[in-house]
Amino acid sequence: MVTTLTWRSQAQLLKNLYLPILRRLIVWNHTKALAQLRLVRRRIPPIMPSSAELAAYLRVAAYTMALFDYLQTLPAEFRLYAKQKGPFNLSIPCILFILVRYLGVLTICSGVVGFFYHGFSVEACSHFFWVTPVFKLFLYLSSQAILTLRQVSTYAVSRKSKVVLRLLIVLSIVTGNDCLDILETRSCTSGNAPTPGFRVAAVYYASCLLFDVVTMVISAGYLLRFSTSNLSINTLTTMMIRDGIIYFVVLTAFNIVNVIFFQSGDTALQSAATAPGYAVTMIFSSRFILNLSERTRPDGYSGENLSRTPITISGPGVRRGAKRDSVGITVTKSVITMHDVATSHSSESRAVKSEWQAEMV
């Protein structure tokens, strides 16, 4: 006798027989999946890098950026050398360019070897440890010298303002005193500070930050005043203001980051931003001089500050039918140029006057 089950009876049978099996299978698969997930999590490193890994990533990024900029600006570097009078008669901006360019290269190369090479002995490491900080010190000194020469040009444009001169002298004494204190206490790193909890390395970057802020404010103020006092803003002046602001913002940002990092107790994190700092210093300091050189002619003047306007003379004193005289006036407007930065006496005379040369045609 065959019993015919209705669809409701079949559904109830399937529910009673297969639903517990499905539940057990789901629980088993879920438990197995969780176990595999825990195993995978153990094998995968954490997403947040450690202090040493963060320092390595920042260094690789800085070195790549510096190498790209070096190759990109090689043609402009050759043009700068071609404008010099001879290999032993280099201008001050060219000398500063060579210093900031190749001190940066030496700093980067020594930093690569010192950070990524692990074959040093204890004795060799104690000597090699000082190479990168020494190169970095002279690199920052060259960068600050470029800012100082920019201030000399601004001082010439400001008509030898006594306030600007006194402020620059006071600022140099204050920032230089901090560096002398660091040298006297022999605290070139943040770990050997004489006062507990006081990070000496942060003082160095704070001094650079103070110098950059004051020099940028003075330069931008007088350059804006110089440009607005004329009928039109010269392209060279606009370039100096733009490059100066970019140069200031980038260097100030990295100085602030270095001040923050050197307040940390983690020694690996303290120097994480130093490599991008001196790479950016090398890039923007050299580009500032190269851009200024590209905007000037070999005689030191800007390529856009000469104009010749013919003027026809006529008036009541001129007879009818007489040949009218025409006067060609050449106007030379003075701006800050590479020649002004190189020689202070020419900058003092050329930054204030405008030469009018007239000739009868």
The predicted structure's pLDDT at residue 254? 78
Q: Measured between alpha carbons, how far is 332 from 230 in angstroms, rounded to an integer?
A: 13
Q: Measured between alpha carbons, how far is 263 from 273 in angstroms, rounded to an integer?
A: 12
The predicted structure's pLDDT at residue 68? 92
The predicted structure's pLDDT at residue 256? 80
Q: For the chain, which ranges sit under pLDDT 50?
A: 1-2, 186-194, 231-232, 300-311, 313, 318, 321-361
User: Residue 190 gets which letter from DSSP?
Assistant: G
The predicted structure's pLDDT at residue 2? 44
Domain 51-294, CATH class in plain words? mainly alpha
The predicted structure's pLDDT at residue 71? 92
**Whole-model pTM above 0.85?**
no
Q: Are 209 and 255 in contact (CB under 8 A)?
A: yes
Q: Measured between alpha carbons, how far is 257 from 260 in angstroms, rounded to an integer?
A: 5
The predicted structure's pLDDT at residue 18? 63
The predicted structure's pLDDT at residue 306? 44
The predicted structure's pLDDT at residue 25? 64
Number of Cβ within 10 Å of residue 155's Cβ equals 21
Q: Are 311 and 349 in contact (CB under 8 A)?
A: no
Pairing mode, strands 326-332 and 355-360 = antiparallel
